[in-house]
Homo-oligomer: A and B are copies of this chain.
Amino acid sequence: MDATVTVIDPVAALAELAPIGADPVRGGWSRHLLDDADRDMRAWFVRTAGSLGLTVETDANANQWATWAPEGATGPAVATGSHLDSVPGGGPLDGPLGVVSALAAVSRLIAEGHAPARPLMVANFAEEEGARFGVPCLGSQLLAGDIGTERVRRLTDAAGTGYPEVMMAAGYDPTTIGRDAARVAEMALYLELHVEQGCQLAPLGHPVGLATSILAHGRWRLTLTGRGDHAGATELVSRHDPMLVAGEAIRSARGHALGSAPETRSRATVGKLHVVPGGSNAIASEVRLWLDARAEHDADVRDLVARIVSDVEAAGLAEGCTVTVEEESFSTRVAFDQDLTDRVAAALAPGLGDVPRIPTGAGHDAGVLAAHLPTAMIFVRNPDGVSHSPLEGAAEPDIRTGVDALTDALRALTSERGT
């Protein structure tokens, strides 16, 4: 036992984070890349990892890393972690639960005197939600070299501030972002714990589950341009109102997702929509809306989006509006590493029984890394499945069971000698 280290209680740690980025307008939490809230979350990460004696670094892509490499730990590391940013008005657990659980697990391993054969790294990935710059998993994609750095340097946030400006203001050099082969090579594997999104574990009666796959998914920005005019004085037949086209996009997204073959697990959502100029007595001149589409296989998503866009273009033609479509991101279907998942399952306490293996529709940094190294995920039961909402939650015993599971898995994985 190492009595000098305080074991981190995950519930207390989440309570400590609760005031940071609370959103008085939307409810829930808004923590976006390098804004005040995100900086406070990052400071917490540095402080907490530091209190465990870990070495804390930030890479050029604004991802944070805390490394535990006591004497005898050699070779590529076992990596774990998640992200501390949120969607606008999101819940408390996606993804702080993964980071908190990782640090809690490391604190337990230290306290119990575990002597790891490999280093253990805890990651906080930047801009996982893509809420500020529109590209999800931005930090892990940059790290892995999965996104062009020129494209990233052209990204702007809703206020028009460029990614380079935001990075420079926080002390980063935006000319050095991008693929970090050395950092990727340092990781033997990546295991991410995350609150469940969707409701598969509750009906099965299990507090934790293991991920099998992530649906293929992407985001498309549709710009619908009409002609702004007076809502009272303009004859209906003279209108070019992009709101009508937006209404059709919403209807069509649901309709085509519902109409897809059930085995494709297709879903399509319009959750973000901006109206220009946005006056109640003014016909809109432009509507920008974001289409989120997901399905089992890449081709299912492509097909779904093509059908929706075709409807939107027809509606645009009918209304005399132009339609432009820009793909903001596309994430191919992910199958997690079955061997690693089996090893994690084998490490879990026998009392957990036969832990369910479930697919998910949500994207994760683990999904990005899966193309580069063996990757697995542990899900913690979400009683009603709600996520990306202030109503997201997990029971305290389940949160603690999640940390138990992650601790057991990390102990086992770091006991195996690295190559």
Binding site for B on A (CB under 8 A): 23, 25-28, 30, 87-90, 129-131, 134, 136, 160, 197-199, 215, 217, 219, 227-236, 238, 241, 243-244, 246-251, 254, 257-258, 267, 269-273, 275-285, 290, 292, 294, 328, 360-363, 385-391
Contacts of A234 in B (CB 8 A): 197-198, 267, 361, 385-387
Nearest-Cβ distance from residue A31 to partner chain B, whole angstroms: 12
| Interface-central residue, A134, A199, A230, by most chain B CB under 10 Å | A230
18 CB-based A-B contacts, threshold 8 Å:
A27-B285, A89-B276, A89-B277, A131-B279, A136-B281, A228-B390, A229-B387, A232-B362, A233-B385, A233-B387, A236-B254, A244-B250, A251-B251, A271-B275, A271-B279, A272-B279, A281-B363, A281-B388
**Do residues B272 and A129 form an inter-chain contact, with CB atoms below 8 A?**
no
Q: How many copies does the complex hold?
A: 2
Nearest-Cβ distance from residue A166 to partner chain B, whole angstroms: 18
Contacts of A160 in B (CB 8 A): 25
**Do residues B241 and A269 form an inter-chain contact, with CB atoms below 8 A?**
yes
**Do residues A386 and B228 form an inter-chain contact, with CB atoms below 8 A?**
yes
- Among B215, B230, B282, the residue within 8 A (CB) of A361 is B230
Chain A interface main SS type: loop
Contacts of A267 in B (CB 8 A): 231-232, 234-236
**Do residues A87 and B198 form an inter-chain contact, with CB atoms below 8 A?**
no
**Do residues A257 and B232 form an inter-chain contact, with CB atoms below 8 A?**
no
Task: Give the top 4 A-B pairs by smallest Cβ distance, nearest first.
Answer: A89-B277, A228-B389, A197-B233, A247-B250
Contacts of A278 in B (CB 8 A): 26, 88-89, 271-273
**Do residues B233 and A361 form an inter-chain contact, with CB atoms below 8 A?**
yes
Task: From known contacts A236-B254, A244-B254, A267-B236, infer whether A228 and B89 are also in contact, taking CB-CB under 8 Å.
Answer: yes
**Do residues B388 and A279 form an inter-chain contact, with CB atoms below 8 A?**
yes
